[in-house]
Amino acid sequence: MGLEIERKFLVVDDSWRSEVDRSEPLRQGYLSTEASRVVRVRIAGEQGFLTVKGKRVGDRRAEFEYPIPVEDADAMLEHLCLRPFIAKVRYHLDRRPGDWIVDVFERENDGLILAEVEFSDDSPVTDLPDWVGTEVTTDDRYGNSNLQAHPYSTW
């Protein structure tokens, strides 16, 4: 079974930008946003993905992600997904341990910047960077599927 182990944080300043390795625009929508199962369609750069996620328990949950043709992803976004879409730029950082990213949200979620670190095992994050603020891993308001239904601009 696929397993996502992830922690999420608010970002307090722009000093993370010195650690950027690469970036890509993301556009994503949801076929289902039930707490027990989230089904997401995403276009990342020029690639399409279909992702199924289970209910989060702490910092982990079941996750299954499959590449799909970008044309199929675009058609699902346009004709099947809930509105509004999530639009953001994802910055991949050169930072260890774990895989660090920073998402800078756009459109209805403009102004929100979140950092995430994902692990393949139970490695703890012991040395957080100075640009990381409050941890929001278990705060459902910051989940992307919630941001689709309740955009940051409406808080």
Instruction: Please determine, for residue 60, whether its predicted confidence score (pLDDT) is greater than 90.
Output: no
Q: Global pTM?
A: 0.92
Instruction: Please determine, for residue 76, whether its predicted confidence score (pLDDT) is greater than 70.
Output: yes
Give how many domains the chain has, as a whole number: 1
**Mean pLDDT, range 119-132, rounded to an integer:** 80
**pLDDT score of 66:** 97
**Contact by Cβ (8 Å): 5, 119:** yes
pLDDT for 107-123, tens place per residue?
999 999 999 998 877 66
**Mean pLDDT, range 12-18, rounded to an integer:** 97
60 against 83, higher pLDDT: 83
Which residues on neighbouring strands pair with residue 54, listed in sequence order?
37
**pLDDT score of 123:** 64
Instruction: Please determine, for residue 125, whether its predicted confidence score (pLDDT) is greater than 80.
Output: no
**pLDDT score of 62:** 92
Which amino acid makes up residue 24? E
**pLDDT score of 1:** 59
Of the residues 30, 66, 91, 142, which is catalytic?
A: 30
Question: Any idea what the CATH number is for the domain that residue 116 is in?
Answer: 2.40.320.10
Mean pLDDT (the chain, rounded): 93
Structural domain boundaries enclosing 49:
3-154
Residue 142 annotated as catalytic? no
pLDDT for 143-154, tens place per residue?
999 999 999 999
